[in-house]
């Protein structure tokens, strides 16, 4: 996966902060132990002196080098044993004063061979998720807080099920999707009018998936398709590069949430961009959530047969019904 330089820099910064926090903790432990057992300072001083001696010896060519090295090693083992004994007597674990490493794979270097390590990728995905600011704007979207009582218990005229019953099913599907991610078989299509909770449930899923360390990308359909257009047609190199980066993010992220499909301008470029985005992600086996106010007939009228057949075949359609809960809340 190609990495966004800005986000990668933020991920490295997070890794540095973790390393710094580990160093601070090690220093704190040293102070703590030395306050409880001042002999530690003598031992630590001795160990440091031995390291310096070792460095000096390794550069020298004296005749009795091997004997002096062996003696140094004996003294070193002796001091280490004393330190261990001291820690035991204080009831502390043997490695209590060792350097603290958060990731055993890369030893906090961030690199696993010539690839970014899993720990760095986790920070990267967190940085990417922080970009979800517009979606997670309230900061409290969660399945637990989703209020089913805002939905009517009696069916609307012409419907056979009540909005509350329908939303219970949808809530269950969304939870299942988030909990099982990425091992989910279907993509999701949220269909229904404004103010029925489509964006809210997108945010709930995004939060759970992102917290698991997967990358999530959220864009309105108009912004998403505009990025494709800019990438292709702008003469401004910087804008083109930024748009290309955005397009790659949308195509490569683990979960793409495409909001408000149907509000974008319909041009041949935007239609082909939409197909590209949906199709590339399907081929790569990556999951997408699309939300739209359009009905099936409206989707068919607006989009090509190619796009409609991909949506029909690969997306689980969830019909949000009821009255605008944003209006009811007011
Ligand atoms: Zn690592």
**CATH code for position 228:** 3.40.50.300
Rounded Cα distance between 245 and 7, Å, is 11
Three-state secondary-structure class, residue 185: coil
Asked if 292 and 191 touch (Cβ cutoff 8 Å), the reply is yes
- Residues 106 and 112: beta-carbon distance below 8 Å: yes
CA pair distance 251, 181, nearest whole angstrom: 17
Whether residue 119 lies inside any domain: the answer is no
Taking alpha carbons only, the member of 273, 198, 186, 272 closest to residue 228 is 273
Q: Is the pLDDT of residue 295 over 90?
A: yes
- Which residues, 6 or more positions from 93, have their beta carbon under 8 angstroms from its beta carbon? 87
Residue 312 shares a structural domain with residue 258: yes
User: What is the pLDDT, as a whole number, of residue 138?
Assistant: 63
> Ligand 1 centroid to 114 CA: how many Å?
12
pLDDT at 106: 95
> Same domain for 298 and 181?
yes
- Rounded to the nearest angstrom, the gap between the alpha carbon of residue 295 and the centroid of all alpha carbons in its chain is 33
Report how many domains make up the chain. 2
pLDDT tens-digit profile of 108-128?
999 999 988 989 988 887 777
Residue 12, in any domain of the structure: yes
- Tell me, yes or no, whether 198 and 101 share the same domain: no
What's the 318 CA to ligand 1 centre distance in angstroms?
39
Confidence of residue 201 (pLDDT cuts 50, 70, 90): very high
Residues 151 and 36 in one domain: no
Q: What pLDDT is attached to residue 137?
A: 64
- Confidence band (pLDDT; 50, 70, 90) for 224? very high
Q: Across residues 227-252, what is the average pLDDT?
A: 90
Evaluate if residue 326 carries a pLDDT over 90: no
Q: Which residue has the higher pLDDT, 329 or 39?
A: 39
293 and 165 together in one domain: yes
Report the pLDDT averaged over residues 214-237. Answer: 91
- For the chain, the average pLDDT equals 90
Q: Render pLDDT for 132-144 as a digit per residue (tens, 0 to 9).
A: 766 676 667 889 9
Residue 117 lies in a domain: no
DSSP state for residue 133 in the 8-state scheme: G
105, 147: one domain: no
Distance 281 CA to ligand 1 centre (A): 28
Alpha-carbon gap, residue 127 to 12, rounded angstroms = 10
Do 163 and 279 fall into the same domain?
yes
Domain assignment of residue 223, yes or no: yes
Q: Does the global pTM surpass 0.85?
A: no
In a domain, residue 123? The reply is no
As a whole number, mean pLDDT of residues 289-310 equals 95
81, 216: one domain: no
pLDDT of residue 2: 59
* 118 belongs to a structural domain: no
Helix (H), strand (E) at residue 289: strand 287-292
Distance CA 33, CA 87 (A): 8
Length of the chain, please?
330
Same domain, 141 and 94: no
Q: 292 pairs with which residues across the strands?
A: 191, 261
Residue with tokens 């998720």: 129
Planar angle of CA 52, 58, 62, nearest 5 degrees: 115
Q: Residue 318: enclosing H or E segment and its boundaries?
A: strand 315-319
Rounded CA-CA distance 74/262 in Å is: 76
> Are 275 and 150 part of one and the same domain?
yes
Ligand 1 centroid, distance to 104 Cα (angstroms): 7
Q: What pLDDT sits at residue 86?
A: 93
> What spacing in Å lies between the alpha carbon of 106 and ligand 1's midpoint?
4
- pLDDT band of residue 179 (cuts 50, 70, 90) is very high
- Per residue in 15-66, pLDDT tens? 999 999 999 999 999 999 999 999 999 999 999 999 999 888 888 877 888 8
- Tell whether 129 is covered by a domain: no
Of the candidate ranges 9-13, 22-26, 179-183, the one whose mean pLDDT is the lowest: 9-13
d(C-alpha 163, C-alpha 169), whole Å: 10
Q: From CA 193, how far away is CA 188, in angstroms rounded? A: 16
Residues 185 and 44 in one domain: no
> Residue 110: which residues within 8 A CB-CB, separation 6 or more?
11, 12, 15, 116, 117, 119, 120
Domain residue limits at 313: 135-329
Q: Which of 76, 110, 144 is the last residue of a domain?
A: 110
**Cα 102 to middle of ligand 1, angstroms:** 8
128 inside domain: no
Q: Which residue has the higher pLDDT, 199 or 131?
A: 199
Q: How far is the CA of 9 from the centre of ligand 1 (A)?
A: 16
Distance 100 CA to ligand 1 centre (A): 13
Do 86 and 140 sit in the same domain of this protein? no
Q: How confident is the model at residue 182 (pLDDT cuts 50, 70, 90)?
A: very high
């Amino acid at each position: 996966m190609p990495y966004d330089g800005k986000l990668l820099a933020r991920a490295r910064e997070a890794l540095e902060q973790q390393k710094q926090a580990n160093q601070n903790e090690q220093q704190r432990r040293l102070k703590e132990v030395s306050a409880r057992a001042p002999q530690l300072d003598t031992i630590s001083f001795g160990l440091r002196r031995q390291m310096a001696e070792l460095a000096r010896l390794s550069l020298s060519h004296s005749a009795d080098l091997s004997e002096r090295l062996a003696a140094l090693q004996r003294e070193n083992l002796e001091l280490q044993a004393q330190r261990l004994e001291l820690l035991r007597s204080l009831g502390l674990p043997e490695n209590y004063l060792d350097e603290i490493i958060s990731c055993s794979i890369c030893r906090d270097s961030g690199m696993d061979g010539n690839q970014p390590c899993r720990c760095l990728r986790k920070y990267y995905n967190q940085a990417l998720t922080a970009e979800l600011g517009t979606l997670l704007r309230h900061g409290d979207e969660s399945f637990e807080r989703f209020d089913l009582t805002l939905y009517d218990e009696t069916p609307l005229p012409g419907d056979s099920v009540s909005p509350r019953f329908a939303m219970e099913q949808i809530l269950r599907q969304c939870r299942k999707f988030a909990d099982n991610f990425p091992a989910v078989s279907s993509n999701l299509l949220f269909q229904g009018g404004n103010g029925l909770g489509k964006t809210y449930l997108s945010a709930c899923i995004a939060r759970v998936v992102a917290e698991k360390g997967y990358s999530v990308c959220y864009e309105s359909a108009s912004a998403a398709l505009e990025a494709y257009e800019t990438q292709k047609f702008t003469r401004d190199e910087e804008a083109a590069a930024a748009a290309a980066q955005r397009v790659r993010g949308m195509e490569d992220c683990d979960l793409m949430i495409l909001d408000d499909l149907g509000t974008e301008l319909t041009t041949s470029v935007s239609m082909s961009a939409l197909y590209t985005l949906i199709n590339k992600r399907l081929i790569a086996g990556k999951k997408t959530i699309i939300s739209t106010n359009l009905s099936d007939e409206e989707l068919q009228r607006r989009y090509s047969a190619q796009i409609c057949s991909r949506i029909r075949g690969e997306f689980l359609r969830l019909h949000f019904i009821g009255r605008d809960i944003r209006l009811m809340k007011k």
